[in-house]
Structure 1
Amino acid sequence: MIGFDYGTSNCAVGIMTDGQPRAITLGDHGTYMASSLYAPDRDVIVNWLHKNINEPFRTEFKNKRGFLLSKGQEALEDLRYDGIPEHLSFGRFALERYLDDPSEGYYIKSPKSFLGTNGLLPAQIGFFEHIVAAMMAHVKNHVEADLGRSVDQVVIGRPINFQGRNAEQSNKQAIDVLTNAAKHVGYKDIEFQYEPVAAGFEYEATLTQETRVLVVDIGGGTTDCSMLLMGPEYVSKVERQDSLLGHSGKRIGGNDFDIQLALKGIMPNLGMTSELDSGKPMPVSSYFQAVAINDVNAQSDFYSAENGRFLQQLKRDAKSPELVERLLKTYREKLSYQLVNSAEQGKIQLTDHQQLAVDLSYLDQGLQQDISRELMAEANQHQLNHIVELMHEAVEQAGCQPEVIFVTGGTAKSPVINGHLKQQFGDIPVVIGDHFGSVAAGLTRWAGNIFR
């Protein structure tokens, strides 16, 4: 039995050992695998998945996916003819292959962000199911290699809401995708737990008395808050409904902070704040679409042939066409993820630096852009205010004030973010948890409780 944090930014797995959660090493990824996948062709993902799941699931999968497997086989033959490696890559190795040639292959970061998207067609939902299953199969293979035995019981973390709109329908769609993917790779007993509640379970293990805890989990894709009644007397209980006092959640996370920093700090170098020859401001919709890596429809619109023609005309109409040429280069070479990755790496470095220069030489030789903590705070004021609103919403649902605020999630590591949160609740102590490990550890504890 394992706890599986299938996160927007990272994947982590734990198992109970001597009464404590232990992080499982996922091969060369270490204990955390970045939630990224690279395929030389998107059609071959289903074929890789078919090869990497065990019987009887493999036969059942083939019976249901015969057409897609045939289509993928044709793509594999083309790759072999061209001498292109046909294997999939995951985590940082996926990013390395993408950055090696962004215009080739298929790269996706944070597929969890797409699972609850409204308006997805059945074929798109099936495609995301294959992506998630491929990642789960890769992780499961490493887990079983580490443990030396098969694993078929899992607790998977989930946000309060995958999307803001049509939350009930969105949540069902996303949970269905995750459940089907988990079944494909051989999990038999599959349970879900709210990620902030799981993080709370890990904090609960440190408590010596009953305490009202506001858990704030700022992940890569969502921010989730839970007001929990916790303490030693609750640790081993399976029924916890009476101690779960209030929940709130919204699709605001690390990806959004990266995107907003990219818009404010990087996109002016591509002409976003420039003018047309007519003196009118530059139309900005394509700039937003270019960096909206967590929005399927926006990315489809940006990389459409119609938008390519629009960008060509935009360059002709621009007062600074050399800047718009960089946006055209982004379009031609599929650099969206690289732009947002530059912002993300800058955000991470701002944890230890007040200001730094971001390398943008892939757009133009020698191009750099200075960014700062102040710029990040300005770019993300809207997101910061929304997180505070979510905290108050969970408290209002609970009908009582927290005695401690426990903040976790990779994005909360930023001084810009945790500094803003500490200002909001007066003298209530704020505890900063294990930024990446709290959810996985709590899911593991819950797996130990419900599967014992």
Structure 2
Amino acid sequence: MFIGFDYGTSNCSVASMVNGVPTLLALENGQHYLPSTLAAPTRDSVSEHLFRFSNIQPSDATGQQLLRRAMAANREEGIELHAEDLLFGQAALDLYLAHPQDLYYVKSPKSFLGAMGLHQVQLSFFEDLVCAMMANIKQRAEMETQQPIDDAVIGRPINFQGSGGESSNQQAEQILRRAATRAGFKRIEFQFEPVAAGLEYEASLTSEQTVLVVDIGGGTTDCSLLRMGPNWRGKRDRSDSLLAHSGQRVGGNDLDIHLAFNQLMPHFGAGSLLESGLEMPMKQLWNPVAINDLSAQNDFYGQRNLAELKLLHKEAQQPEKLARLLAVYHDTLGYGIVRRAEEAKIALSASPTYHSQMAVDKETLAFDINFDEMQQALDTPKQQISKLVREAVSQSGEQPDVIFMTGGSARSPILRQAVAEVLPNVPLVSGNDFGSVTAGLARWADVVFA
């Protein structure tokens, strides 16, 4: 059996073909979308759990070295792992929100796969993270279908997040392929996520069109300009139909991060002053919410940063705000702050104001955000997305007949307006914002594995 597998930055989903129609499979409590999260007692628990309870061997000598280190570290800490200690999806998120300081939690490891300058052991650990998540999803899908699943078409962005250009793309795809192989998939193909979304839209067409697909995912925005229609449907060689691609690290996570920084981090010291009159260093307020930037997270939560945070607290004109920032450090609250921003972004798409609360140390902070404040906070990612649309059209030298917007953030009225302003005379249509990519991947799997 084959599936289309959207290993997403925010959510994961899979689909199979049933009577010629893509059907998303339930993965958690009847839901089709599993949050891309993992929680474990410690960082070292991931590799040992994969080996001990999933019987998945390391792929090379570096992986074996990582496993030995992990098992030794867990023994030294007196940690005895159990099968239920590794959590995924909403269960992992719920545990993190309840006990952020007591576990290892990661969201969106896909965001890190293209990072340059990493040691082989770090790359091997990312492979273990992805493998654990993929093996878990494969198991859930097989329970749902009551069939073994051997083959998968996995979605990938035009450009993974990373500074290495094509080197970042190759590194990330290699990690995904190795992880998927270890998770038990036998035949693995990749397809660009916006192309997959376009394939799902194409299934509804009765005539030929030139379609600009704008896929605003959790980690990236990708644009593909495609010739589509009945004459192309089902063809394996579509090279002549692919007119242009553009993609960049700007997605739903970036919207949440910018909103968190602009509207929430002032409660933690952003924009405040030191006794010297200098403004608080921006990186100390940006790094904790930059959850898609591995170096930023390491810099903020590293042991060496604690002394600097204590010094800033001592020299701050508003020390109570820096006390909250210290609580963010000690209790690993960065993900929780971004989560509040994400909730605000979703709510403000339908309501002019949003109110939320968050427990920080021994106080409860109240946050109030309105639509205009969100619009101002999201100006930078909005401009980046507009630039990607222009780039795709410019590359092809052709105007699209229609714009197909999809992805979790495609519902945002701010982003829809941004795209419409670039191509004001082109109709803008939508499909299943969360499921179009997955369905298109299943359609492509039906072509390549038939």
User: Normalised by the size of structure 2, how large is the TM-score?
Assistant: 0.95
- The CA deviation at 1:233 is 1.3
- 2:438 aligned with 1:443: no
Map Cα deviations across residues 145-201 of structure 1 (whole Å, 9 max, x no partner).
112221111100000000363211000000000000011011111100000000000
Asked if structure 1 preserves the Cα contact closer than 8 Å seen for 2:155 and 2:441, the reply is yes
**Closer, same or farther in 2 for the Cα pair 1:79/1:144, shift >3 Å?**
farther
Map Cα deviations across residues 16-70 of structure 1 (whole Å, 9 max, x no partner).
110100111114262110000001111121122224546xxx4675987444434
Asked if structure 2 preserves the Cα contact closer than 8 Å seen for 1:53 and 1:184, the reply is no
- The CA deviation at 1:280 is 2.0
Map residues 39-58 of structure 1 onto 2, 5 A cutoff.
39-51=40-52, 53=54, 58=56
Map Cα deviations across residues 294-341 of structure 1 (whole Å, 9 max, x no partner).
111111111122211111111111111011111111111111111111
**Closer, same or farther in 2 for the Cα pair 1:83/1:23, shift >3 Å?**
closer
Counterpart of 1:416 in structure 2 is 414
Asked if structure 1 preserves the Cα contact closer than 8 Å seen for 2:28 and 2:34, the reply is no
State the SS of the aligned residue for 1:423: helix
Measure the CA separation in 1 of the matches of 2:50 and 2:83. Answer: 16
- The CA deviation at 1:278 is 2.0
Measure the CA separation in 2 of the matches of 1:41 and 1:59. Answer: 20
Measure the CA separation in 2 of the matches of 1:229 and 1:62. Answer: 42
**Identity in percent:** 46
Greater shift after overlay, 256-265 or 19-28?
Answer: 19-28
Counterpart of 1:228 in structure 2 is 226
Measure the CA separation in 1 of the matches of 2:61 and 2:118. Answer: 24
User: Normalised by the size of structure 1, how large is the TM-score?
Assistant: 0.95
Asked if structure 2 preserves the Cα contact closer than 8 Å seen for 1:53 and 1:185, the reply is no
**Closer, same or farther in 2 for the Cα pair 1:150/1:289, shift >3 Å?**
same
State the SS of the aligned residue for 2:380: helix
Counterpart of 1:284 in structure 2 is 282
Counterpart of 1:323 in structure 2 is 321
Map residues 119-268 of structure 1 onto 2, 5 A cutoff.
119-163=117-161, 165-268=163-266
State the SS of the aligned residue for 2:123: helix
Counterpart of 1:13 in structure 2 is 14
Measure the CA separation in 2 of the matches of 1:160 and 1:83. Answer: 38
Measure the CA separation in 2 of the matches of 1:72 and 1:283. Answer: 35
Greater shift after overlay, 431-440 or 158-167?
Answer: 158-167
**Closer, same or farther in 2 for the Cα pair 1:311/1:371, shift >3 Å?**
same
State the SS of the aligned residue for 2:101: coil
**How many residues matched?**
449
Measure the CA separation in 1 of the matches of 2:8 and 2:328. Answer: 27
Measure the CA separation in 2 of the matches of 1:277 and 1:147. Answer: 63
AA in 1 matched with 2:194: P
Asked if structure 1 preserves the Cα contact closer than 8 Å seen for 2:228 and 2:241, the reply is yes
**Closer, same or farther in 2 for the Cα pair 1:38/1:212, shift >3 Å?**
same
AA in 2 matched with 1:101: H
- The CA deviation at 1:126 is 0.5
Asked if structure 2 preserves the Cα contact closer than 8 Å seen for 1:373 and 1:416, the reply is no
Measure the CA separation in 2 of the matches of 1:363 and 1:184. Answer: 41
- The CA deviation at 1:215 is 0.2
Greater shift after overlay, 70-79 or 248-257?
Answer: 70-79
**Closer, same or farther in 2 for the Cα pair 1:167/1:61, shift >3 Å?**
closer
Measure the CA separation in 1 of the matches of 2:253 and 2:107. Answer: 10
**Closer, same or farther in 2 for the Cα pair 1:111/1:199, shift >3 Å?**
same
Asked if structure 1 preserves the Cα contact closer than 8 Å seen for 2:287 and 2:299, the reply is yes
- The CA deviation at 1:251 is 0.4
Asked if structure 2 preserves the Cα contact closer than 8 Å seen for 1:229 and 1:243, the reply is yes
Asked if structure 2 preserves the Cα contact closer than 8 Å seen for 1:263 and 1:287, the reply is yes
Asked if structure 1 preserves the Cα contact closer than 8 Å seen for 2:8 and 2:36, the reply is yes
- The CA deviation at 1:81 is 6.1
Asked if structure 2 preserves the Cα contact closer than 8 Å seen for 1:40 and 1:84, the reply is no
Asked if structure 2 preserves the Cα contact closer than 8 Å seen for 1:98 and 1:107, the reply is yes
Greater shift after overlay, 376-385 or 43-52?
Answer: 43-52
State the SS of the aligned residue for 1:12: strand
- 2:35 aligned with 1:34: yes
Asked if structure 2 preserves the Cα contact closer than 8 Å seen for 1:247 and 1:394, the reply is yes
Measure the CA separation in 1 of the matches of 2:120 and 2:93. Answer: 28
Counterpart of 1:404 in structure 2 is 402
Measure the CA separation in 2 of the matches of 1:265 and 1:232. Answer: 48
**Closer, same or farther in 2 for the Cα pair 1:83/1:217, shift >3 Å?**
closer
Map residues 15-94 of structure 1 onto 2, 5 A cutoff.
15-28=16-29, 30-51=31-52, 53=54, 58=56, 65-74=63-72, 87-94=85-92
Measure the CA separation in 2 of the matches of 1:305 and 1:74. Answer: 22
**Closer, same or farther in 2 for the Cα pair 1:398/1:180, shift >3 Å?**
same
Measure the CA separation in 2 of the matches of 1:62 and 1:128. Answer: 14
**Closer, same or farther in 2 for the Cα pair 1:199/1:59, shift >3 Å?**
closer
Counterpart of 1:394 in structure 2 is 392
**Closer, same or farther in 2 for the Cα pair 1:165/1:79, shift >3 Å?**
closer
AA in 1 matched with 2:258: Q
State the SS of the aligned residue for 1:413: coil
Asked if structure 1 preserves the Cα contact closer than 8 Å seen for 2:299 and 2:305, the reply is yes
**Closer, same or farther in 2 for the Cα pair 1:361/1:218, shift >3 Å?**
same
Asked if structure 1 preserves the Cα contact closer than 8 Å seen for 2:58 and 2:64, the reply is no
AA in 1 matched with 2:19: D
Measure the CA separation in 2 of the matches of 1:82 and 1:332. Answer: 24
**Closer, same or farther in 2 for the Cα pair 1:86/1:153, shift >3 Å?**
closer
